[in-house]
Amino acid sequence: MEPNWNDTQPIYRQLRDRIVTMILEGVVNDGDALPSVRQVAGEYQLNPLTVLKGYQALVDEELVEKKRGLGMYVKAGARKALLADERRRFLEEQWPGIAATIRRLGFDPKELMDQVNGQEARS
Amino acid sequence: MSPVIQAEGLSKSYAGVRALDNVSFTVEPGRIVGLIGPNGAGKTTALKAILGLTPYSGTLSVLGHDPYRERGRLMQDVSFIADVATLPRWLRVRDALEFVARIHPRFQADRARAFLSRTEVRQDARVRELSKGMIVQLHLALVMAIDARLLVLDEPTLGLDILYRKAFYEALLNDYFDGERTILVTTHQVEEIEYILTDLMFIQHGRLVLNSSMDAVQDSFVEVLIAPERVAEAEQLRPLYRREMFGKKLFLFEGVARDRLAGLGELHRPSVADLFVAKMKGAPA
C-alpha cells in the first residue's frame, strides 16, 4: 500500500492522522501494538525518523505509549478520548450549522430521526 | 558521535575539467543521504573518492580513515553497490555467497541466504540466468549481509521495474537500516526516495548547490500557488523559480518566512524533483 501524501502538511503529521483514523474506525484497538518503525518505514517508503516523529506526536497526545523493548501500543482509553474529541468538535464546528438548517427548513427533530431510522430499517 | 564522512575542499580534475571543485560536507551516522545531480555533475567522482577508488586533493575522512591510503581497512566497514553490475556471468549464486564469505570478515552468509529465500533467486542459478532485477537482489543480498557502517548505492535501481524498485527500498529500510548505519545514495529517480532521505545534497558542475537536512529543506523552501492579484507583490519577494500550471503561477521561494507568503496564495511543500529543477536552473552555470 503506497499512500498518497498531500503536499500541504508534513508527512509525519499525515502519518499521525492516518493512525488516528485507524483507531477511530476500530482498525486498531486499545492495547494493540502498532507496527514497528522499520515496518512502517519499509511499507510506506519513509525514512525512519519521519515515522518516529509521527509516533512521537501520538505519544505526546497520550494516545500511544512506548513499552520499553516491546514497541508502541495504543493506550487504554485512546479511542474514547479521540471519540470525545471528535464529538466535541462536531458539536462546536458542525452542529450549529446543521441545527440552523434544520430550523430554517422547519423540521421536527423527531420526524428527522424517524426518517433516518426508517431508512436504516429498509436498507 | 564522530561523522561518518568528512570532506574539506575536495577537488578532482580529469584532463583539465573540474569534476569536483572544492567540495566540503559532513555526513553524520544514522542518516540516509541523497546525492542528486545531472549526468557529469561529479556524483560518481565523489563516490569513487569516498570509496578510495580515486586519488583527490583536499582532505577526506571516511569512518576516520583516509579512503585512498587505507582502502583495505575501510572496506571492512563500507559496502557498495555500483550502477554497473560486475558479477561474472558464469558464477552460481551459491558460489558467490561462498566467495564473499571467504574474502570478507564481516559477511554473514546466513543473512544473505535468508534474504534470497524471500526472492525468486535460486541458489543454484548462474548469474547469466538471472533477470536484471534478480541480479540487483543478489547484489543487495551480498551487501546487506555485510555488517557495514556505511552503505554506498550508485543508481541502485536503474533499469528496474517499479515492483523491484519498491521491494529494493523496502528491504533496505526493513532489513538493513537500523538508525546507526548510514546510507549514501545517488539516483535519477528522485521521487521514489524523497520520503526516505534524511538529508539532501545537490551537485552541479562539481559544486554542491544544496546541502541540507530534509527538515531544513521543508522549512526553507515553500512553493506558493499565487493568487492572480498578488503576482506583483510575490515578484518583490524574489522567487527562486517560477512555473505555470493550468494558467496559474507557482513560485518557489527560498528562505522567505511562511507567514509572509501565506497571504499570497496556497502554500505547498515542493517535491524534491521540483526543487532540483529550480536549483539547477536558478543557480549560475
Distance, in Å, from the CA atom of B112 to the CA atom of B90, rounded to the nearest integer, reads 20
Domain B5-205, what fold? Rossmann fold (3.40.50)
Q: Which of A7, A42, A49 lies nearest to residue B170, judging by beta carbons?
A: A42
- For residue A35, the distance in angstroms to the closest alpha carbon of chain B comes to 12
Residue B285 is predicted with a pLDDT of 43
Partner B contacted by A44 (CB < 8 A): yes
Q: In this predicted model, what pLDDT tens digit does every residue of B91-136 receive, in sequence order?
A: 999 999 999 999 888 999 999 999 899 889 999 999 999 988 888 8
In terms of CA atoms, which chain A residue is nearest residue B175? A38
Residue A123 is predicted with a pLDDT of 65
Residue-range domain boundaries for chain A: 11-76, 79-122
Q: Which of A2, A5, A38 lies nearest to residue B173, judging by beta carbons?
A: A38
Distance, in Å, from the CA atom of B133 to the CA atom of B170, rounded to the nearest integer, reads 14
- For residue A33, the distance in angstroms to the closest alpha carbon of chain B comes to 18
Contacts of A41 in chain B (CB under 8 A): 173-174, 177, 196
Is the pLDDT assigned to residue B15 strictly greater than 80?
Answer: yes
Residue B164 is predicted with a pLDDT of 85
The stretch A5-14 carries a mean pLDDT of 90
Residue A2 is predicted with a pLDDT of 59
Residue-range domain boundaries for chain B: 5-205, 216-282
Kindly determine whether residue A8 and residue B196, on different chains, have CB atoms separated by under 8 Å: no
Kindly determine whether residue A45 and residue B192, on different chains, have CB atoms separated by under 8 Å: yes
Contacts of B266 in chain A (CB under 8 A): 8
Q: What is the CATH number of domain A11-76?
A: 1.10.10.10
Rg (CA), chain A: 19
Residue B282 is predicted with a pLDDT of 67
Residue B83 is predicted with a pLDDT of 63
Residue B284 is predicted with a pLDDT of 47
Q: In this predicted model, what pLDDT tens digit does every residue of B131-183 receive, in sequence order?
A: 888 888 898 899 889 989 999 998 888 878 888 888 889 888 988 888 889 99
Percentage of chain B with pLDDT > 70?
A: 97
For chain A, positions 2-21, list CB contacts with chain B under 8 A: 2, 5, 7-8, 10-11
Kindly determine whether residue B174 and residue A39, on different chains, have CB atoms separated by under 8 Å: yes
Q: Which of B171, B178, B195 lies nearest to residue A47, judging by beta carbons?
A: B195
Q: Is B220:B205 a contact under the CB 8 Å cutoff?
A: no
The stretch B50-64 carries a mean pLDDT of 94
Q: In this predicted model, what pLDDT tens digit does every residue of B167-226 receive, in sequence order?
A: 889 888 988 888 889 999 998 888 888 899 999 999 999 999 999 999 999 999 999 999
Give the residue ranges of DSSP H helices in A2-47. 11-24, 37-44
Q: Which pLDDT band, with edges at 50, 70 and 90, does A8 fall under?
A: confident
Spell out which chain B residues touch chain A, with contact meaning CB-CB distance below 8 angstroms.
32, 166, 169-174, 177-179, 192-193, 195-198, 214, 218, 223, 266-271
Kindly determine whether residue B174 and residue A8, on different chains, have CB atoms separated by under 8 Å: no
